[in-house]
Amino acid sequence: MLMCKTITWALDSCESGVIPHETNSLFYAEDVIRYCKYHTPFSIKYCIEGEIPYVIGNQKISVGPGSFFIANHGTELECLPTPAGTKALIIFFTEDFLTEVANAFLPAGRSPLNTPANSAAFRLEFFEHTYRNSSPLSIQIQTLARQMISPASHRPDDFQELFFNLAQNLFSFNGHTQGQINSLHAGQTATRRELYRRLLSARDFMLDQWSEPLTLEAVARHACLSPYHFHRSFRQAFDEAPMRWFRQLKMEKARELLSKGKLTVSEAAVNCGFSDVFSFSKAFKRTYGAPPSTEFGLRCRTTLLEVSDT
């Protein structure tokens, strides 16, 4: 494995020969040229720029800019070569450290990992997936990445507290994820987890195809579910109907396009997959309270509360 630029901030002093993933640490890598296969500890793979590709089992995954992948202890990762210019921040946790945080942070009987941390049956396990939506966890990781690559980069004096807060955010994020899984109406845990994985895949599909006029049937087909089952399960997990979520996504993308001042309203309508300007303006006004062509509408796009769905 060859790295053109790396920065490591370790929680504890490392003995000679100890590599980053054997301790609690932040590992920044830029212009990574690599190929390796190993069993990872608990870790978060965050992409700043470029793409971080892995193979897990028979599945290839790609972590894109602003996304992160959560890996459990013992998961075998095949790390594939990354494109030039890729920048990534990898966070490693030891099992002992996360167990210690769980005992201090998770209320007995209310663990987002299903079992109180002080129970003999307690098992650390996170839902492995590439997450793309903004969350307190992703915001903290972004902040840490900026700190590490700044010209005056140095490890904070309160790094232990910072790392403890990072682990807390990981548990909170996973607790939210587990709550969404538990909200699904299925008898078996394995069935709920598989159904949730399909819902996340469908949501990623809508994110990738946001400019297309997708139908409920097309998205449900991508999730390998019937339209009725998909619609019902999506609402159970995310508290919103899937096509309503998709329309909101289109409006957010339209707001981004128009705020840059490079597109007309007609061009934005076409880019967002609307058949005519009238329907686009009507949808925009319904979402933000003013049509996109007015000065008030432009101001509205920068002041309205953005809702993050994780």
* pLDDT above 70: percentage of residues in the chain: 85
Reported as a single tens digit per residue, the pLDDT across 161-208 is: 999 999 999 999 999 999 999 999 998 999 999 999 999 999 999 999
Reported as a single tens digit per residue, the pLDDT across 246-288 is: 999 998 888 888 888 777 888 888 888 888 888 888 888 888 8
Quote the pLDDT of residue 19: 57
Q: What is the pTM of this model?
A: 0.82
Residue 53: pLDDT band (50, 70, 90) is: very high
| List of long-range contacts for 12-21, beta carbons under 8 Å, 24+ apart | 20/90, 20/92, 21/90, 21/92
| Amino acid symbol at 218 | A
